[in-house]
Structure 1
Amino acid sequence: MRMVFRWFGEGNDTVTLEQIKQIPGVEGIVWSLHDLAAGEEWPMDRIESLRDQAASAGLHIEVVESVNVHEDIKLGLPSREKYIANYIRTIEKLARVGVKVICYNFMPVFDWVRTDLFKQMDDGSTALFFENSKTTNIDPSELVREITHNSELSMPGWEPERLAHLTSLFDAYREVTTEDLWRNLGYFLDAIIPVAARNGIQMAIHPDDPPWPIFGLPRIITNQANLRRFLTLNDSPSNGITLCSGSLGANPDNDIISMVHEFADRIPFTHIRNVRVYDNGDFIETSHRTQDGTVDIAGIVQAYHENGYKGYCRPDHGRHIWGEQCRPGYGLYDRALGIMYLWGVWDAMENTRRREERKSV
């Protein structure tokens, strides 16, 4: 397991590269050019500049999250050809600086949805929260205004240029069915996966967050059966999954441990975080510790270890603790604690393996 840490860039993140480097076992950053709109080709000089910046702190840039997919590709419009061509050129450029994994998603309009960015928990910390009833009884535009008003830093997935066209986007998706979305995803994969394979890059789709249809929009990367179907769309080893325990774990019916065992060789990148799910469908993001949430984080790490996992891993969202003022879900302190919890479980598995090997000699 190779530990990495998401970083949003200088001036757009409260966490510094120097702080990331001091977290035990972290070897690289998970990054993007967050100011570029979906569909734009990434400039080589910007890519190289960020690579050099990370290298100066002793960190690699082998995982990108995300190269966003333009809505015209998801909608299957004729204009998708232009945006697919831009995407392909970006893949080729990223390969030149040593990128190995590109995370992306295929969620219509919203990359993720929460109804409160700073919900207070019993211990005084705050965390990202999803109130189920709010997404059925609120106009999406009203939720957007409420959420973006509470964040001073940019929020990927909620970019102003995307949200400015919210009404027209919802209109465009009105006639798009789940099967249409599957077809458009297959078309996209057939175009980009051969390029990724030639360039030594694994594409890794992120599950929908939350993993069910929302605001009447279709969602397709939601459960084990759909992940299985996704992998059959293109059977290349370069077509993979970013398995996110928090996104998928918001639905208690999802068995993340089973997914790890089934898809281990197609998971180049994993997000590990915990959520506590309530009976009414609400959920809140907790510490990474297993007993603090609904997701068996220790069991998930054990499953990765049993499969000899050598892919990239990052702690996903954390709480806001110890008075830290940070990007919602992306402070330093709780994610660093999460890494140490993950390493603790992993090290325990390693120690057990070594003891068993010594006994067998």
Structure 2
Amino acid sequence: MKMGFRWYGEGNDTVTLDQIKQIPGVESIVWALHDMAAGEEWPMEKILKVKEATDKYGFNLDVVESVNVHEDIKLGLPTRDKYIENYKKTIEKLAKVGVKVICYNFMPVFDWLRTDLYKEAEDGSTALFYEKAKINDIDPMELVNKIASNPDLTMPGWEPERLKNLSQLFEAYKNVTEEDLWNNLKYFLEQIIPVAEINDIKMAVHPDDPPWSIFGLPRIVKDRNDLARLLKLVDNPYNCLTLCSGAIGSNPNNDVPAMIREFGNRIAFAHIRNVKIYENGDFIETSHRTCDGSLDICDIVKAYHEVGFTGYARPDHGRHIWNEQCRPGYGLYDRALGIMYIWGIWDSLQRNK
């Protein structure tokens, strides 16, 4: 298992590369060009600028999260082909700096959804929180304004320029079914995977977060059956998964360790985090520790060890602790603690082989 740490770039992150360098076992920076709109071809000079910054600290750039998929591709519009061509050109450029995995998602409109970015826990820490009842009553635009309220630290998937036309996006998806979305994903993968294979880059889809329909929008990467279907759409070892335990695991019916054991050879990237799920369907993100949430992080890491996982992993969202002022879910302290918890489990499994 190779450990990475998500970083939003110089001037766009409260966490610095020299701080990340001091976290044991972190080899790579999980990165993206966050100022690029979905569908745009990434300029080589911007890619090289990230490489120049990370080379100083000996990090590799093996994992990109994310090269976002344009809504026209998800909608299956005639304009999708030009955006797919841009995606192919970006893949070719990323291969030149050693990228091995591209994490992406196929969620309509919203990449992820929470109702509170700073829900306070009993110990005084705060974390991302999903309140099921509020989703049933809230105006989506109210959520957009809330999540995009800090212009200095934009949230991935909630870029203001993309969501300013929210009503038009909802109108466009009004008659799009899950089968339509499956067909559009198949079209995308049939075009992209051959280019990814030639360039030795694995395309790793992220599950829907949360893994159920929101605001009536179709969602198709929600459970074990969806993962199996997706891998068969284009049955190629470069068509892979980003298995996010916290995203897909927020539905208690999803058995994350079982998915790892079944699909281990097609998991290119692992997001490891815990969530506490309440009986009413609410959930909050917790520390990585098993006893603090509803997911068995010990068994999740054990499952990766059992399948001989040699892919990339990162701690996913962390709590906000010790008065850290940071992008919601992406501070230094709790994610660093998460890495050490994961390594502790992994090292004990290595010793007892």
Partner of 2:261: 261
Partner of 1:357: none
Shift of residue 103 of structure 1? 0.2
Partner of 1:181: 181
The answer to whether the 8 Å contact 1:151/1:327 transfers is no
The answer to whether the 8 Å contact 1:151/1:328 transfers is no
With the length of structure 2 as denominator, give the TM-score of the two structures: 0.99
- Please give the alpha-carbon distance, in whole angstroms, between the structure 1 residues aligned to 2:152 and 2:196: 35
Partner of 1:44: 44
- Please give the alpha-carbon distance, in whole angstroms, between the structure 1 residues aligned to 2:259 and 2:287: 22
Partner of 2:321: 321
**1:69-108 aligned within 5 A:** 69-108=69-108
Cα RMSD between the aligned structures?
0.7
**1:55-66 aligned within 5 A:** 55-66=55-66
Per-residue Cα deviation, 1:118-153 (whole angstroms, up to 9, x for no partner): 000000000000000111111101121122225741
Per-residue Cα deviation, 1:162-187 (whole angstroms, up to 9, x for no partner): 11110000000001000000000000
The answer to whether the 8 Å contact 2:148/2:159 transfers is no
**1:229-248 aligned within 5 A:** 229-248=229-248
Q: 1:207 is aligned with what amino acid?
A: P
- Please give the alpha-carbon distance, in whole angstroms, between the structure 1 residues aligned to 2:98 and 2:149: 37
Partner of 1:137: 137
- Please give the alpha-carbon distance, in whole angstroms, between the structure 1 residues aligned to 2:151 and 2:46: 25
Helix, strand or coil at the partner of 2:137: coil
Unaligned regions of 5+ residues in structure 1, if any? Answer: 354-361
- Please give the alpha-carbon distance, in whole angstroms, between the structure 1 residues aligned to 2:294 and 2:192: 36
Q: Give the % identical residues.
A: 67
- Please give the alpha-carbon distance, in whole angstroms, between the structure 2 residues aligned to 1:152 and 1:46: 20
Per-residue Cα deviation, 1:34-72 (whole angstroms, up to 9, x for no partner): 011000000001101111111111111110000000000
The answer to whether the 8 Å contact 2:7/2:13 transfers is yes
Per-residue Cα deviation, 1:90-139 (whole angstroms, up to 9, x for no partner): 00000011000000000000000000000000000000000001111111
**1:255-294 aligned within 5 A:** 255-294=255-294
- Please give the alpha-carbon distance, in whole angstroms, between the structure 2 residues aligned to 1:274 and 1:76: 35
The answer to whether the 8 Å contact 2:130/2:282 transfers is yes
- Please give the alpha-carbon distance, in whole angstroms, between the structure 1 residues aligned to 2:260 and 2:174: 34
Helix, strand or coil at the partner of 1:61: coil
Helix, strand or coil at the partner of 1:34: coil
- Please give the alpha-carbon distance, in whole angstroms, between the structure 2 residues aligned to 1:280 and 1:144: 24
Helix, strand or coil at the partner of 2:119: strand
- Please give the alpha-carbon distance, in whole angstroms, between the structure 2 residues aligned to 1:174 and 1:274: 33
Q: 2:344 is aligned with what amino acid?
A: G
With the length of structure 1 as denominator, give the TM-score of the two structures: 0.97
Unaligned regions of 5+ residues in structure 2, if any? Answer: none
Q: 1:118 is aligned with what amino acid?
A: Y
Shift of residue 214 of structure 1? 0.2
Partner of 1:307: 307
Aligned length: 353
- Please give the alpha-carbon distance, in whole angstroms, between the structure 2 residues aligned to 1:301 and 1:126: 25
Q: 1:224 is aligned with what amino acid?
A: R
